[in-house]
A and B are shown apart, each in its own frame.
Chain A
């Protein structure tokens, strides 16, 4: 296994991993653990990557599935894992809470109000992925993606209106 290739993949997709971790873990300590978990899962899965899907689709799939599993773990289990002192991917100028921009902070708040699958869909939608790509990444049908996205957008609009008023 080529570690340089692995590091290069991580570098190319660090935005995506960073946003996923921020969306699933409001707590910075949990964020570090999730980053760690995603790196490990990516490293394990890299051996099986056969190039049939785009590398970004593959990274999304692994990272989101890991984040969803991490989110579902109970707090007791999370506390039992080893925490690192620093983040693998960090935004030095903006740490510890890098979500200072008002609109981005609002979006993160809105995302945090969603369930684990809808969070994934919202992230994919915000990153301009097609319904087909979302369906491939999350393993659900395109129709299901469309229905859920439409419901999430409606729900988001209502919440934005509530916040604005």
Chain B
């Protein structure tokens, strides 16, 4: 069998494809819904992970605080830390629930777009609050954990606690920013892009 013979067979195959290939236009329209859902699942998964982590963080802080409740500075740090972790848990739960609701919204593209725009505004506002909360967690949780786990009194030793807190907060902010930029915001950007395409394709595709 020669290469030219194969090339001829390829040309016949091409003719056969021209006659038989079918384009599923409806599926073509729905492709972007799949992509949109996939893009939105990234930030949703990150929020769900946050909820789990923060739930255990609250439990851990409460246990540590109870253990150290006889030492006033640690009782105070633990109480603040527990409140801050609980607030973060609530914020993450709210966002996860909004993402979930949006993913299960099947009425109209305009409605979906409105919900998505509101969610984005909320996320932008909450991010400022979360930034402050993360700082407070770093300041209060770090000495509490060290005291509870290693019995080292950092609150009484400012020369160690300040660089320690700065290191913990710096690392935390760096990881948080990376996750926000490359997973969270990327997911939202992708979702917005696919939403734009769906809008251009027309509302009938969603029904």
Residues of A within 8 A of B (CB): 1, 3, 7, 10-11, 14-15, 18-19, 36, 39-40, 43-44, 81-82, 84, 86-94, 101, 103-104, 106-107, 126-128, 153, 156-157, 160, 163-164
Is B54 an interface residue when CB atoms closer than 8 A count as contact?
Answer: no
Whole-angstrom CA separation of A3 from B196 in the bound complex? 13
**Minimum distance in angstroms from B107 CB to a CB of chain A:** 21
| A-B interface pairs (CB < 8 A), number | 95
B24/A87 in contact, CB under 8 A: yes
Cβ-defined partner of B3 (8 Å) among A1, A18, A84, A156? A156
Whole-angstrom CA separation of A93 from B1 in the bound complex? 27
Whole-angstrom CA separation of A96 from B28 in the bound complex? 19
A92/B10 in contact, CB under 8 A: no
B201/A3 in contact, CB under 8 A: yes
Within 8 A of A (CB), among B1-29: 1-3, 5-7, 9-11, 13-14, 17-18, 20-25, 27-28
Which residues of B are found within 8 Å of A106, using beta-carbon distances? 1, 6
**Minimum distance in angstroms from A121 CB to a CB of chain B:** 14
Which residues of A are found within 8 Å of B23, using beta-carbon distances? 7, 10-11, 14, 88-89
B2/A160 in contact, CB under 8 A: yes
List 13 A-B residue pairs with CB atoms under 8 Å apart, sorted by A's residue number.
A1-B200, A39-B28, A40-B197, A82-B38, A86-B24, A88-B23, A88-B28, A89-B23, A90-B21, A106-B6, A128-B11, A157-B3, A160-B3
Whole-angstrom CA separation of A107 from B193 in the bound complex? 38
Is B32 an interface residue when CB atoms closer than 8 A count as contact?
Answer: yes
Residues of B within 8 A of A (CB): 1-3, 5-7, 9-11, 13-14, 17-18, 20-25, 27-28, 31-32, 34-35, 37-38, 193, 197, 200-202
B32/A19 in contact, CB under 8 A: no
A88/B27 in contact, CB under 8 A: yes
Whole-angstrom CA separation of A54 from B163 in the bound complex? 62
A153/B31 in contact, CB under 8 A: no
Which residues of B are found within 8 Å of A90, using beta-carbon distances? 21-22, 24
A84/B2 in contact, CB under 8 A: no
Whole-angstrom CA separation of A93 from B22 in the bound complex? 10
**Minimum distance in angstroms from B46 CB to a CB of chain A:** 14
**Minimum distance in angstroms from A116 CB to a CB of chain B:** 19
Cβ-defined partner of B197 (8 Å) among A14, A43, A82? A43
Q: Nearest 10 CB-CB pairs, A to B?
A: A103-B9, A82-B38, A15-B17, A126-B10, A104-B13, A82-B34, A1-B200, A14-B21, A36-B31, A88-B27
